[in-house]
Amino acid sequence: MLRGQAAVEYVSLLSVLLVVFLVFYFLLAQSHQKEASQDIWVLSARSIAMEVGETIDRVHVAGDGSNQSVTIPRRLPGGVNYSVYVYSHMVLVSVPGYGREFEWKMQTSQVNGSENGFQVESGSLNVFNWNGTIYIQWV
């Protein structure tokens, strides 16, 4: 047996084990990163549903002539596409790419056009109360 052969074999074995460990670590880290990214856009979608619903309720409770603005982002974090719908007593945020929906219940059903539901476009919205009916106007 040559001198140092055992040391070379030992270092080679450790190198192979280290590479295998790093590959598994990288795959596991990617999985956790994907889960964290989904958690961020899920929280954002829920927040949007809540913000739109609470804005509508605040304007309803404040009475005739009240108004408030709300801004809806174009996309969720990570560039995820979504849509916002207003129905009677409910705001729904739909994320079709992931088959997920998030809803927020509202006190009021007096939202103009909400009988069959309507889609709210992204951007700055003005929510106002006129004669007890809530209107949503894109600014």
Each residue of 106-120: pLDDT tens digit?
998 889 988 888 999
Domain residue ranges in the chain:
5-138
Q: 82: which residues sit within 8 A by CB, 6+ positions away?
A: 45, 48, 75, 76, 93, 94, 95, 96
Backbone φ and ψ of 2, nearest 5°: -75, 150
| Structure confidence at residue 25 (pLDDT) | 84
Q: Show the CA angle centred on residue 94, arms to residues 92 and 98, nearest 5°.
A: 150
User: Which tens digits make up the pLDDT trace of 6-48?
Assistant: 788 888 898 999 899 888 888 887 777 777 677 899 999 999 9
